[in-house]
Amino acid sequence: MPCPLGACRRRVLLPPGVPVIRALLLGLGLGCAMAAGAGEHQLQVTASAYNSLPGQGQGDVSVGAWGDRLRPGMRAIAVSRDLLDMGLSHRSRVTIDGLPGEYLVLDKMHPRWRKKIDVYHGTDLQAARRWGVRTVTIRWRDAPQNAPRR
């Protein structure tokens, strides 16, 4: 059946006879995480930090998974691949509660991660360590605003 919240393209499989209650769906993490309105998403994720330093990644550590060159000072994030299935894409604009401005999705994480982002901290290892690991809420809008620009 389509998402009972009616605002996304996800499909939800429920056993026969199970009532579809918005609060229950959100509480169990079924359906989508839509809250603000059509096309606006929000989701609670685990956020850690990463750098462009030797030994932190594969190949050229200053190049993201889509080929974008990462430079210190950029507001960029890497996302777990399940978030790509939830509507994020290359160059999506994301706001992160507690951080100023918008961040661009410029990198992907290893497939083992779920509901996780890495906030890019350039070459500042100490800033990444201060960030640590925390739970944050991210927000983004559907395309066309988030359509790739290449």
List pLDDT tens digits, range 13-35. Answer: 545 555 554 434 444 444 454 44
Higher pLDDT, 35 or 143: 143
User: What is the per-residue pLDDT for 19?
Assistant: 52
User: What is the per-residue pLDDT for 45?
Assistant: 98
Indicate whether this model's pTM tops 0.85: no
Within the chain, all domains assigned CATH 2.40.40.10 are found at 35-141
Judge: domain 35-141, CATH 2.60.40.350.
Answer: no
Taking only the tens place, the pLDDT of each residue in 30-83 is 445 444 566 889 999 999 999 998 877 777 788 888 889 999 999 999 999 999
Q: What does each C-alpha distance from 25 to 4, 15, 64, 137, 148 come to in angstroms?
A: 8, 13, 35, 18, 31
